Amino acid sequence: MQERTKQHIRGVLLLLTLVIIIIVVVMVARPEDRYSKSAPNESIEHVESVAAYDTLSFSTFDPNTADYRTLISAGVPRDIAVSIIRWREAGKVYRVKEDLALCYNMTDSLYFLLEPYIIIGKEYQFQPKEFDSTPRERHTATIALSPFKLDTVGTTFLRGIGFSVRQAELIVNYRKMIGGYRSIEEFEECYAVDSAMAARLRPYIIFEPRDTLPAHLEERVEFPIELNSTDSVTLCKVMGIGAKSASHILFYRDLLGGYHSVSQILELKVVTEENFQRILPQIYCDSAKIKKININFARPKEMEVHPYISNRMLRRIVNNRELKGGWSNLEEMIEDDIFSSEEAARIAPYLDFSFPQE
């Protein structure tokens, strides 16, 4: 009897041992079950993708030239590689690394891992804007210098004495804006003229005496003056605005597309707060004369010159417009992180959201 009892106990112990071994084996073989219980809100697919990123090995690649196999070899996940190529086939050019952050399925964590390996070729990079149009190289002169009247020569003559096509055009346009060059100092104020060229031409330039200037320069004007329709000659009649200030005000007006508020001229370095208070009673602006940008159809070149649209904004406008087809109002652009609330308030008077009538 005692022998049977001992055998029964040994059997039970053996059975319990087997059960414990089986439980341990199952738990070791399926660690993902324990992970899913500790984080029930995360999908298995997401967990596997995060783990995969941690084990990826990356190498350098150019998103503008790399084919699918090259991208995969560089460690780019397949779905991201497909997005990069599809965007490229649709006409997308990756100008900066951050452009890849906008690709479908790209997460911040994955972009953080890829960013050090992204290479943008020089031919695809954004070229820095040359806001200062002072010449960087000397052009060959083809005309022998002799005395000439700066207010009557054309672009052909200016090119012949050493200016480029663009510089010659700027000199003539600036001349129209200020109503004629009266001194070498006014000539040097033109963006296209550097001090070396001015010194070279100084002995040959003939300036009209002030008492022989055209009669229309002395004509009376009615105040206040409307900023969006005036010319430089009339603007110089404002007490506190000289030829240099007038040229900057009109140049900035052209970049903006017009002033919606007279206070915008304070954004120019040539206008101080003290001088603005003196100028203010003599000017006003008609915002109906503003040239607006149709944000859903405007070309990048049209938008990039606007002072209120940065390169970052321009990239996001172009990229998001390709994806969604445009916007109906400014609030949608804020939601898409194109503009902050402050940036939107600033650019609002210059945007048009209309679509052509079918």
pLDDT tens digits along 63-96: 999 998 899 989 898 888 888 887 787 677 888 8
Query: Per-residue confidence at 195, pLDDT binned at 50, 70, 90?
Result: confident
Task: Please determine, for residue 211, whether its predicted confidence score (pLDDT) is greater than 50.
Answer: no
Instruction: Give the pLDDT confidence score for residue 5 in this predicted structure.
Output: 66
pLDDT exceeds cutoff 80 at 113: yes
Q: What is the mean pLDDT of residues 108-132?
A: 75
Helix (H, G, I), strand (E, B) or coil at 61: strand
Model confidence at 134, pLDDT cuts 50, 70, 90, reads: very low
Cα separation, 40 vs 114, in Å, equals 29
Report how far apart the first and last C-alpha atoms of the chain are (Å, whole number): 101
3-state SS, residue 284: strand
Burial of 216 (0-12, 13-18, 19+ CB in 10 A): exposed
The band of 269, judged by pLDDT with boundaries at 50, 70 and 90, is confident
Percent of the chain with pLDDT over 70: 78
Average pLDDT over residues 50-54: 52
Tokens of 306: 């606007």
**What is the distance between the alpha carbons of residues 347 and 264, in angstroms, rounded to a whole number?**
12
List of residues 6+ apart from 20 with CB closer than 8 A: none
* Mutual angle of helices 31-38 and 2-29, in 10-degree steps: 70
Mean pLDDT of 34-52: 40
Which of 140-154, 208-222, 340-354 has the weakest average pLDDT?
Answer: 208-222
pLDDT of residue 309 exceeding 80: yes
Question: Across residues 303-315, what is the average pLDDT?
Answer: 91
Q: Which has the closest alpha carbon to 310: 351, 281, 282, 338?
A: 338
Give the CA angle between residues 257, 258, 262 to the nearest 5°. Answer: 150
Q: What digits encode the pLDDT tens for the residues 136-193?
A: 445 667 788 888 888 888 988 998 888 888 888 888 887 876 667 878 877 887 777 8
Question: Range with the lowest mean pLDDT among 108-112, 133-137, 152-156, 264-268?
Answer: 133-137
206: left (phi over 0), alpha (psi -120 to 50) or beta: beta
At residue 29, does pLDDT exceed 60? Answer: no
pLDDT of res. 36: 37
Q: For residues 30 and 202, which has the higher predicted lDDT (pLDDT)? A: 202
Q: Coil, strand, or helix at residue 283?
A: strand
What is the reported pLDDT for 96?
83
- Lowest-confidence region among 93-102, 241-250, 268-277: 93-102
Rounded CA-CA distance 9/128 in Å is 87
Q: State the average pLDDT for the chain.
A: 79
Helix, strand, coil % (nearest 5) of the chain? Answer: 55, 5, 40
Q: Which of 105, 116, 99 has the alpha carbon at shortest distance from 64?
A: 99
Return the pLDDT at 219: 55
pLDDT above 90 coverage of the chain, percent:
26
| Rounded to 5°, angle at Cα 131 from 127 and 137 | 80
Distance (Å, rounded) from C-alpha 213 to C-alpha 30? 94
Residue 229 amino acid letter: S
Q: Is the pLDDT of residue 249 over 90?
A: yes
How high is the pLDDT of residue 126?
63
Distance (Å) of CA 254 to CA 64, 89, 257:
35, 36, 5
Q: Which CATH number is associated with domain 220-289?
A: 1.10.150
